[in-house]
Protein backbone atom coordinates (compact mmCIF):
# COMPACT_ATOMS: atom_id res chain seq x y z
CA UNK A 1 0.00 0.00 0.00
CA UNK A 2 2.94 2.32 0.39
CA UNK A 3 6.43 3.03 -0.85
CA UNK A 4 9.05 5.20 0.81
CA UNK A 5 11.64 6.91 -1.30
CA UNK A 6 14.81 6.38 0.65
CA UNK A 7 16.12 9.74 -0.40
CA UNK A 8 15.79 12.38 2.29
CA UNK A 9 15.66 15.97 1.15
CA UNK A 10 16.61 19.07 3.09
CA UNK A 11 15.97 22.80 2.95
CA UNK A 12 15.84 24.27 -0.54
CA UNK A 13 16.21 20.84 -2.12
CA UNK A 14 12.95 19.80 -0.46
CA UNK A 15 11.19 22.82 -1.93
CA UNK A 16 12.63 22.14 -5.36
CA UNK A 17 11.52 18.51 -5.19
CA UNK A 18 7.99 19.55 -4.27
CA UNK A 19 7.80 22.08 -7.08
CA UNK A 20 9.14 19.56 -9.58
CA UNK A 21 6.59 16.90 -8.67
CA UNK A 22 3.65 19.23 -7.94
CA UNK A 23 1.43 16.20 -7.40
CA UNK A 24 -0.96 15.24 -4.67
CA UNK A 25 -1.90 12.21 -2.68
CA UNK A 26 -4.61 11.71 -5.30
CA UNK A 27 -1.81 10.98 -7.77
CA UNK A 28 -0.24 8.51 -5.38
CA UNK A 29 2.37 10.41 -3.39
CA UNK A 30 3.01 13.15 -0.87
CA UNK A 31 5.99 14.46 1.09
CA UNK A 32 6.37 14.47 4.87
CA UNK A 33 8.43 17.39 6.24
CA UNK A 34 9.94 17.62 9.71
CA UNK A 35 9.78 21.34 10.52
CA UNK A 36 10.72 20.89 14.17
CA UNK A 37 13.85 22.31 15.76
CA UNK A 38 15.03 19.24 17.68
CA UNK A 39 12.69 16.28 17.17
CA UNK A 40 13.27 13.26 14.93
CA UNK A 41 10.37 11.49 13.21
CA UNK A 42 10.70 7.70 13.36
CA UNK A 43 7.12 6.65 12.68
CA UNK A 44 4.19 7.57 10.43
CA UNK A 45 0.99 5.53 10.78
CA UNK A 46 -2.40 5.74 9.04
CA UNK A 47 -5.82 4.34 9.82
CA UNK A 48 -8.61 4.33 7.25
CA UNK A 49 -11.06 2.80 9.70
CA UNK A 50 -9.79 -0.75 9.31
CA UNK A 51 -6.95 -0.49 11.84
CA UNK A 52 -3.51 1.09 12.11
CA UNK A 53 -0.98 0.57 9.33
CA UNK A 54 2.56 -0.59 9.80
CA UNK A 55 5.13 2.19 10.12
CA UNK A 56 5.29 3.86 6.69
CA UNK A 57 8.92 4.71 7.39
CA UNK A 58 9.71 1.03 7.78
CA UNK A 59 11.59 1.43 11.04
CA UNK A 60 14.86 2.15 9.24
CA UNK A 61 14.18 5.71 8.10
CA UNK A 62 14.35 8.68 10.44
CA UNK A 63 13.40 12.18 9.33
CA UNK A 64 15.70 14.67 11.03
CA UNK A 65 14.73 18.32 11.70
CA UNK A 66 14.67 20.24 8.41
CA UNK A 67 14.38 17.09 6.29
CA UNK A 68 11.57 15.43 4.39
CA UNK A 69 10.83 12.22 2.56
CA UNK A 70 8.42 11.35 -0.22
CA UNK A 71 5.86 8.64 0.45
CA UNK A 72 3.93 6.92 -2.32
CA UNK A 73 0.74 4.88 -2.38
CA UNK A 74 1.10 1.88 -4.64
CA UNK A 75 -2.53 0.76 -4.43
CA UNK A 76 -5.05 2.03 -6.97
CA UNK A 77 -7.81 2.13 -4.39
CA UNK A 78 -8.07 3.42 -0.89
CA UNK A 79 -9.99 5.87 1.19
CA UNK A 80 -8.96 9.52 1.06
CA UNK A 81 -10.08 10.18 4.63
CA UNK A 82 -7.36 8.86 6.90
CA UNK A 83 -6.38 9.29 10.52
CA UNK A 84 -2.65 9.48 11.03
CA UNK A 85 -0.25 9.56 13.92
CA UNK A 86 3.42 10.48 14.07
CA UNK A 87 6.06 8.69 16.11
CA UNK A 88 8.91 10.75 17.57
CA UNK A 89 12.30 9.49 18.76
CA UNK A 90 12.60 9.53 22.55
CA UNK A 91 15.78 10.22 24.53
CA UNK A 92 16.18 6.52 25.30
CA UNK A 93 15.96 5.53 21.62
CA UNK A 94 12.31 4.49 21.74
CA UNK A 95 9.26 6.04 20.14
CA UNK A 96 6.41 8.13 21.48
CA UNK A 97 3.34 8.53 19.28
CA UNK A 98 1.38 11.80 19.11
CA UNK A 99 -2.39 11.97 19.30
CA UNK A 100 -3.93 11.00 15.96
CA UNK A 101 -5.33 13.64 13.59
CA UNK A 102 -7.56 13.39 10.52
CA UNK A 103 -6.33 14.17 7.02
CA UNK A 104 -7.64 13.91 3.46
CA UNK A 105 -4.65 12.08 2.05
CA UNK A 106 -5.85 12.66 -1.53
CA UNK A 107 -5.57 16.42 -1.05
CA UNK A 108 -2.16 16.26 0.60
CA UNK A 109 0.86 17.14 -1.51
CA UNK A 110 2.87 18.01 1.59
CA UNK A 111 2.42 17.13 5.26
CA UNK A 112 4.25 19.49 7.63
CA UNK A 113 5.09 18.40 11.15
CA UNK A 114 5.99 21.32 13.42
CA UNK A 115 6.70 21.33 17.15
CA UNK A 116 3.08 22.02 18.10
CA UNK A 117 1.22 21.87 14.81
CA UNK A 118 0.55 19.44 11.97
CA UNK A 119 -0.88 20.70 8.69
CA UNK A 120 -0.95 19.87 5.00
CA UNK A 121 -1.48 21.43 1.60
Q: Which residue range is the domain that position 12 belongs to?
A: 2-115
In a domain, 37, yes or no: yes
Measured in residues, the chain has a length of 121
Of the candidates 32, 37, 49, which has an alpha carbon nearest to the alpha carbon of residue 87?
32
In a domain, 121, yes or no: no
Helices (H), 1-121: 11-21
| pTM for this predicted structure | 0.73
Under-70 pLDDT residues of the chain = 1-28, 73-78
At residue 117, the pLDDT reads 83
In a domain, 25, yes or no: yes
At residue 22, the pLDDT reads 42
In a domain, 62, yes or no: yes
Report d(CA 64, CA 41) in Å as an integer. Answer: 7
In a domain, 120, yes or no: no
Report d(CA 102, CA 98) in Å as an integer. Answer: 12
At residue 14, the pLDDT reads 32
At residue 57, the pLDDT reads 86
Domains identified in the chain, total number = 1
Amino acid sequence: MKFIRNTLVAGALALATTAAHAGTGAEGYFTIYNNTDNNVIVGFYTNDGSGWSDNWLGGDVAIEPGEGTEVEFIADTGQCEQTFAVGWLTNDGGETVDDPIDIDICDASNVYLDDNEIYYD
